[in-house]
Amino acid sequence: MADSSAQPIAKYRSDYQAPDYTIENVSLEFDLDATATKVVAVSTVVRQAKEISDLVLDGEKLELLSISVNQQAHQAYKLSDGQLIISDLPERFELKIETQLNPKENKAFEGLYQSGEAFCTQCEAEGFRRITYFLDRPDVLATYTTKIIADKAQYPFLLSNGNKVDQGDLANGKHWVSWQDPFPKPSYLFALVAGDFDLLEDSFVTQSGRTIALELFVDKGNLDRTEHAMASLKEAMRWDEQRFGLEYDLDIYMIVAVDFFNMGAMENKGLNVFNSKYVLANKQSATDNDFLGIEAVIGHEYFHNWTGNRITCRDWFQLSLKEGLTVFRDQEFSSDLGSRAVNRIKNVRLLRSHQFAEDAGPMAHPIRPDKVIEMNNFYTLTVYEKGAEVIRMLHTLLGEQGFQAGMKTYVDRHDGQAVTCDDFVNAMQDASGKDLSLFKRWYSQSGTPVLKVQTHYDQNKQQFSLTIAQHTPATAEQEDKQALHIPVSIELLASDGSSLALQVNEESVSSVLELTETEQTWLFEGIGEQPTLVMLQEFSAPVKLEMDYSSEQLLLIINNASNTFARWDGMQKLVSIWMKQAVAQVQAGNNLQLEEAIVNTFKLLSEDSAIDKGLLAELLTISSENEIADGFADVDIDAIAQARDFFIRSLALALPEQFVALEQACAKADKQSLAHEDINLRSLRAACLQYVAYSQPELVAAAYFDSPTMTNKLAAMSAANNADIEQRAAMFRDYEQNWQHDGLVMDKWFALEASYAKEGSLARVQALAEHPSFSMENPNRVRSLVGSFANNNARHFHAKDGSGYRYLGEILRVLNTQNPQVASRLITPLIQTVKLDAERKALIVEQLQVLAELEDLSKDLFEKVTNGLQQLQA
């Protein structure tokens, strides 16, 4: 076992203390070299503490060259465990620190590193300490001036935050550029990029008449894949002005796309560094989902300019302050530009299939954690997606007008500050006058609440009684739970599908009920017949529901609910009832049968020409194995896979004419544009191909070979993959031959190969790790192959012989030292397995114990391995 004295130490939110010193401004000079970059940092430092104290700066993987205070060499310092501790300091002084670093060997991609031949940085959360010794914490806000020196021929573009203020040439073939950012920011928002790129230029005129220069930098040869990203940026700037009244503040906005990046993108002030996945797209190389993803991520990073940059986090426990709010904003952006119903459904799918599992797993935490060992481990779906749901609940409770008033108060009150989640909720409360003190529990309580619903109808009094009880199960780090403030949006349907008016004490009431106690009852009057209750319209809260529905009630909801999300959710419940029964039948060794009522429901939907095509695509898409597993207390991987396969195959063979006719109609009507009407048509066609593959596989092959667009090709490949049709091999071979030169496009191929559920799956994945397009050093490649196998190929990853677990364990041991951030994200499907059988749990424990024994186990993995073992061995 690794030396326990060397184990990482947890930090607690309750221990927060303001820094003894702050930094008002910093001047940085970089002399770039692949193996020996020199950095000179000159900072104005001011003591904030009343008593004289040491200045403690963070540093990692640095060679310290010199220190001076007020232009005099300073010797009163020591280096200790990743910190530079400086003594004998005046109250206000100039601190100059010279360091040297090796970007080429930085495979963790934190701080300054090389992506291909270019230099770039990633400083969130704690990467700036790999550039220079600094107060690397978000509550130290300084203005930055950055001078970059590099070889002019090799690095013609030298970029940093803010506005360009000067540039020049040097005699030795080098050149320099200076940048100045006038807005105080924490060190995590610092950015530098140097390289030779193709450049797309444009401009945007703000609502106040200012012209902003827009520049998008990509690797040479990729300029034809940048137009959509630029258009998305301009849409985001326009939308933020119109919806939130927020205008961009610098003279220039730059985006740089790089291939080697741990995250999706980074909102550094004025210079966003992006994973190329979320910039590069044209119809030949990208799918509609890629285009929509680019739109959302471009928007997300731009929206951070105000919700994250101008107003930032006091400490990293407050991460959801910026991320939850900004995810909500990018979701609204996508919904306003596209299909609100489809966007909402996709967001809820992600929440149910992955975030709910996080809530039930060993890393369960509130959206504002109380304890952290490695901050990178809290860039989670809980902080981001559940955090966005908490913001959405505020919007539901306050309405658009009240929410916007709260946003204005928040911005006016805290611009230029590092603040807390409480500060945000207080602004909402003060602007609206609504008491949100109970609502704040969402920030401190982990787990997924469960709502238990009971109803009673009194025909004589024409009254309908609704009782809702809330309960949040204990989580790994938090036993006791309190009642939450939960908005519950409902509808009552009559037997003819019409919506019944909601009245209490002869007055109309809102459809949004506010559950604030452990149990509450509402009594609705004037209800002339037994109604069907529609719960959680628009998924008004991130909760689970315990409520018995009959098939007849669900069919009424699917066909008549006024809220499109509720219609889709009714279908999920209908399928879920069958799945639970089918899994029991599989376990008992009985044959399965698909009820005629379900077949008829799908038949009627497929023949309904009036239904929204995007919604129909979602209705026809059967929940993933992960989503289905969430509904079980004990998960039987193989039985779930068998039941789901049977459902899709049986439906396909029961309605071949309907699915073929619908697929062909979509293909004919599609104008191949990025208009949302056409995107919905292609989405519906893709859903139909999943069924067509079982009856007419030649049509799936035709959809691949006859289409010039990546969307249709990938839809056909996915259908061929899942149905395992004969034509699959030719399709995948053709794709590989055409795109093996482009790693980003090959990621889709790797992902499909890794999720291919045919026997020998693991051996194929292991062989593909030797493919010339694959690289263990590239996070995108690793996620596409290894991540897809572990997350999307449950029956082979969870193989009873433990081979899937051993394989992931081997990969994690490599990444532990090479790129701990990626390793930490990949381990998730290995530790969120508390519902599995005892035999599989024992096999997982073996792999976690091997990791725990590593002498050099990273902080990133230590936290998850330790928590995983604790829960599995409890």
Residue type, 359: D
What contacts 24+ positions apart, CB below 8 Å, involve 831-834? 831/361, 831/362, 831/363, 831/864, 831/865, 831/867, 831/868, 831/871, 831/872, 832/357, 832/358, 832/360, 832/361, 832/362, 833/798, 833/872, 834/360, 834/361, 834/362, 834/871, 834/872
Catalytic residue flag (residue 301)? yes
Within 509-588, strands assigned E span 512-515, 519-525, 532-534, 544-546
Sheet holding 211-218, edge to edge: 198-205, 211-218, 252-258, 271-275, 265-266
Q: How far is 463 from 830, CA to CA, in rounded Å?
A: 50
Q: How far is 783 from 788, CA to CA, in rounded Å?
A: 7
Distances (CA, A) of 810 to 449, 807, 827: 36, 5, 11
Whether omega before 874 lies within 30 degrees of 0, making that bond cis, reads no
Within 196-251, strands assigned E span 198-205, 211-218
Q: How far is 536 from 569, CA to CA, in rounded Å?
A: 9
Q: What are phi and psi of 853, to 5 degrees?
A: -80, -10
- In this structure, what token pair is assigned to residue 392? 């959405």
Within 506-663, strands assigned E span 507-508, 512-515, 519-525, 532-534, 544-546
CB 114 within 8 A of CB 106: yes
Catalytic-labelled residue, pool 60, 124, 267, 301: 301
Question: Per this entry, what is the length of the chain?
Answer: 874
Q: How far is 598 from 851, CA to CA, in rounded Å?
A: 47
CB 8 within 8 A of CB 862: yes
Q: How far is CA 287 from the centre of its chain?
A: 19
- Specify the DSSP element, H or E, that contains 467: strand 463-471
Residue 628, Cβ neighbours under 10 Å: how many? Answer: 24
**Residues annotated catalytic, as ranges:** 301
